[in-house]
Amino acid sequence: MSLIKKIFSNSRSPEDGLFFSKLEKILGFKPSNLIHFRKAFTHRSMNKLDEKGNPMNYERLEFMGDAMLGSVIAAHLFNMVPTGDEGYLTKMRSKIVSREHLNELGKDLNLIQFLESKVTVQNFGENIHGNLFEAFIGAIYLDRGFAYCEKFIHKKVIKPYVDIDKLEGKVISYKSLLIEWCQKEKRQFHYDIYEDDDAGKLKYFGVKLSIDGKVIGKARATSKKKAEEIASKRAYFAFQTKIDGK
């Protein structure tokens, strides 16, 4: 089998040989089938078809890559932040796979160097970098399977870029952050605190946080302070884009 691989390896065109060596350097392992990667960097303007007559461009691979990124990052966050609820984990994952971040990853790997297109690079927007990165991840999955794909995402995305504290914005107190924002924006806020009688033997406190007369966050906990913080955190995520100025 190794002899057959060697024969096919030696029969590559000089262009494929250069493409293979550049890919191997980025991947950290040898790609098995270059066709997946050729497709990952082929723009629809090339009007290429595969051997079955199907369009050969990176658009479907973007879908695959997006799914792989989402699943691997979701699993990482789930394991790393055992206290995070569904809303928290969803927001954190969204930050990691934001279009801006994907564009940055594509640029860092210089994937644009491989692009085949009849449209000049200057005419593409910033999102081309993120699109190629997603397609690249999709190609890795098709070429070597989930394990290799997961390992690559951990090495190139999670390890160098995913810092939980930074992603959270190092928020120490959501209540303080929310109050500061309300005061700055001249919004009326009110914490309605009451004892929860349905909690059994353990005493609980319930909190309803209203902003401009509308209930934004609800929570219950074993102390007033904890309940206020949880309600504030939920309200923060409801207003995150406004609070963060994004």
> pLDDT (tens digit, 9 = 90+) per residue, 92-144?
888 888 888 899 999 999 999 999 999 998 888 888 999 999 999 999 999 99
Residue 6: predicted pLDDT:
46
Domain ranges of the chain: 2-168, 174-243
The pLDDT tens digits of the residues spanning 162-192 come to 888 888 764 557 888 899 899 999 999 999 9
More confident residue, 8 or 127: 127
Q: Annotation-wise, does 59 bind a ligand? A: no
Provide the pLDDT for residue 8.
45
CATH of domain 2-168: 1.10.1520.10
The dihedral built from the CA positions of residue 198, 199, 200 and 203, taken in this order, carries a sign that is negative
CA distance 172 to 178: 12
Question: Is 62 annotated as belonging to a binding site?
Answer: yes
Average pLDDT, integer, range 73-94: 91
Domains 2-168 and 174-243 share a fold: no
- 134 belongs to an annotated ligand binding site: yes
| Residue numbers annotated as active site | 66, 134
**Topology at the third CATH level for domain 174-243:** Double Stranded RNA Binding Domain (3.30.160)
Contacts 24+ apart (CB under 8 A), 82-88: 87/234, 87/237, 88/233, 88/237
Stronger pLDDT, 10 or 64, i.e. the higher one: 64
Backbone angles phi, psi at 129, to 5 degrees: -65, -45
- Polymer length of the chain: 246
